[in-house]
Amino acid sequence: MEDKINGKTVVAIVVALHLIFCSSSHVIRGQGFMKTSIIEDGIQGGAAQTSADAMARRGLMQFPAISKTHFAFVCANQIWIVPRDGSAAPLRLTNVPGTKTRLAFSPDGQTLAFSANLDSNPNLYTLPITGGTPTRITYLPFNVYLCQWTQRNELLFYTDSLSFNFLAMQLFTVNSNGGVPVKLPVPYGSEAALSPNGDWLAYTPYWPQTNLRQTRKRYLGGIAPDIWLFNLRTHESKKITKWPGSDTKPMWRDKVVYYLSDEGPGHRSNIWLIDTASGLNKQVTFFRDYDVNNPSLGPVSSGKGEIIFQKGADLYILDLATNKSRRLEVSMSENQVTAKPRNVDASKFITSSELSSDDNEILVGARGDIWMLSTKGGAPRNLTRTSGAFERDPTLSPDGVWVAYFSDASGEYELCVTRSNGSGQARQLTTLGAGFRYAPKWSPDSKKIGFTDNRGATYIHSIDTRETKRIDVDPWSQQAQLAWSNDSNWLAYTKLGANRLSALWLYETNSSTRHQVTSGIFNDSSPVFDRHSVYLFFISNRSFSSPAFDPLNRTFAYRNTSVLVAVPLPFVFSISCR
């Protein structure tokens, strides 16, 4: 038994190294090697290529900025500029690798500032609107994010370079020609803007990314960003937003602060305003389909000025005099934005791996595809080859014939199977709809698959009957840990009780009945059957023999509480049959 385990480990390590070195050396060669072909900023869709014109209208125009004569944006990781009167086609200002973000025009509209990782980590750069070589302004060791090009010809930015804490951002200004950054007199801050006269600073003390504003919707917790005002002369400060959700990206126009907030109906991020003189607070845009992102204030060319922003796949301009928004139409010819395919070494993006029962192959999930690798050498086989879908959590059936996995090809993650030898077509097994599913687990007879979802439900799918049955639901939406008995008739799983401690349960497939195995007084997890299904082993946090006193909280702390426990299954089965 010991030699067998060590042998598998050695084989897995050798093959993994072989995969990395081989695919790195031959990544540009034929289809046999572990290679994925993609288009910059998007996955290549085979014959159904996306045109450059449509690509420019489908969310690739980002981080817009606007001046009296031009507007600029980032597309395909390059900076583009377009005359506002439409007299010329978009002009690409940069042609260097690296991510560019957060564009801002100088007050005279002749220069662009932006954040970019052209040399290493993101720093600030400037570039004339006629093009040329970007000029590096800051030389800080960590992330630098541009907020504003101020009326005093300074760049306002935030960084964690000098706080020595990647979550603790601090605000600085630096001359647009370079020099030593000057820290503003607030301890921490991120998204910020200076008033036109330079006296007031509007800013968010917390870094908005710490509450995952972009991915965790409707967050109302304690680190949701609020907007504060700080007087740089008198050091007076006050909070001007009251919404418990996300308020960020402040922009000054006279005595009015425009900002992003998800306070409105549907809690979509829209543009709001606060008049610092009268206290008027109101919503300005009312989009319900997509969030407003990356707003940038423009100069006053007429009326009260404009704000350019992203919404969905498009750029919009908000007229501050009328509070009306209009969508920008940008036409980019095919020879301007070229979607160049490139080869990607998928071995650098491995998310899961599993050794076959005969030690001859390794099943790998990498970069949204599923691969079979031979431990004896040879080319990897891509079993899915789907550029428009993402496959994950692959697992081999015990008989080695099938691979089960989850795919979002239908628009939602559904359970699918395909043959491990690459023949035939993949087959979708479930139609559960919205939600995420996790950890498919084959029964030893290769006829059933257990899995869980994000709502805490546990399912069993029968290959023979093609029926998917929900057998239980965790009241706390916790994903269960699953284990099959050797005869495939019992599924052991974990489930939290009212006390939020995990107990072990058994589900009998023949009678469709559930039985609680452990009391739930202790936290029990990681069930596994022995080969003859005589014992059910699990880990239990029930050893409290070595307490340590905590003088600060005046209580006891218990370390190493987990122990290995075995339950004789004939005893469990006899109880469940009473």
14: domain CATH number is: 2.40.128
Domain boundary, last residue among 380, 413, 435: 435
Exposure of 353 by Cβ count < 10 A (0-12 exposed, 13-18 middle, 19+ buried)? middle
Question: Per the domain annotation, does 116 fall within a domain?
Answer: no
Q: Show the tokens assigned to 574.
A: 């006899």
Q: Are 64 and 26 in contact (CB under 8 A)?
A: no
Per-residue pLDDT of the chain (578 residues; tens, 9 = 90+): 333 333 433 334 334 434 433 333 333 233 334 443 333 322 222 222 333 344 444 447 899 999 999 999 998 889 999 998 877 788 899 988 899 999 999 999 999 999 999 988 899 999 999 999 999 999 999 889 999 999 999 999 999 998 887 778 999 999 999 999 999 999 999 999 999 999 999 999 976 654 444 456 778 877 888 999 999 999 999 999 999 989 999 999 999 999 999 998 888 999 999 999 999 999 999 999 999 999 999 987 666 789 999 998 889 999 999 999 999 888 766 555 555 677 888 889 999 999 998 899 999 999 999 999 999 888 899 999 988 899 999 999 999 999 999 999 999 999 999 999 999 999 999 999 999 999 999 999 999 999 999 999 999 999 999 999 999 999 999 999 999 999 999 999 999 999 999 999 999 999 999 999 999 999 999 999 998 888 999 999 999 887 888 887 788 888 889 999 999 986 555 545 44
Q: Show the tokens assigned to 238.
A: 């006050």
> What is the Cα–Cα distance from 395 to 349, expressed in whole angstroms?
17
Q: How many domains does the chain have?
A: 2
Q: Are residues 470 and 554 in the same domain?
A: yes
Q: What dihedral do alpha carbons 55, 58, 64, 69 form, nearest 10°?
A: 60
Question: Per the domain annotation, does 174 fall within a domain?
Answer: no
Inter-CA distances, 32 with 37, 139, 376, Å: 13, 44, 15
Q: Are residues 505 and 566 in the same domain?
A: yes
First to last CA, the chain: 38
Q: Are residues 507 and 571 in the same domain?
A: yes
Q: Are residues 402 and 498 in the same domain?
A: no
Residue reference for tokens 């662009």? 112
Q: Are residues 430 and 476 in the same domain?
A: no
Question: Per the domain annotation, does 373 fall within a domain?
Answer: yes
Question: Per the domain annotation, does 555 fall within a domain?
Answer: yes
The boundaries of the domain holding residue 553 are 465-578
Q: Are residues 476 and 431 in the same domain?
A: no
pLDDT score recorded for residue 336: 59
Q: Are residues 487 and 550 in the same domain?
A: yes
Q: Are residues 573 and 509 in the same domain?
A: yes
Q: Are residues 484 and 543 in the same domain?
A: yes
Q: Show the tokens assigned to 42.
A: 């998007």
Question: Per the domain annotation, does 478 fall within a domain?
Answer: yes
Question: Per the domain annotation, does 142 fall within a domain?
Answer: no
Q: Are residues 418 and 519 in the same domain?
A: no
Q: Are 458 and 481 in contact (CB under 8 A)?
A: no
Q: Are residues 469 and 573 in the same domain?
A: yes
Q: Are residues 429 and 478 in the same domain?
A: no
> What is the Cα–Cα distance from 458 to 512, expressed in whole angstroms?
13
pLDDT score recorded for residue 533: 85
pLDDT score recorded for residue 388: 85
Question: Per the domain annotation, does 475 fall within a domain?
Answer: yes
pLDDT score recorded for residue 89: 81
* Continuous segment of H or E residues that includes residue 7: helix 2-25
Question: Per the domain annotation, does 22 fall within a domain?
Answer: yes
pLDDT score recorded for residue 571: 56
Half-sphere exposure in the Cβ direction for 79 (13 Å, CA): 34
pLDDT score recorded for residue 52: 39
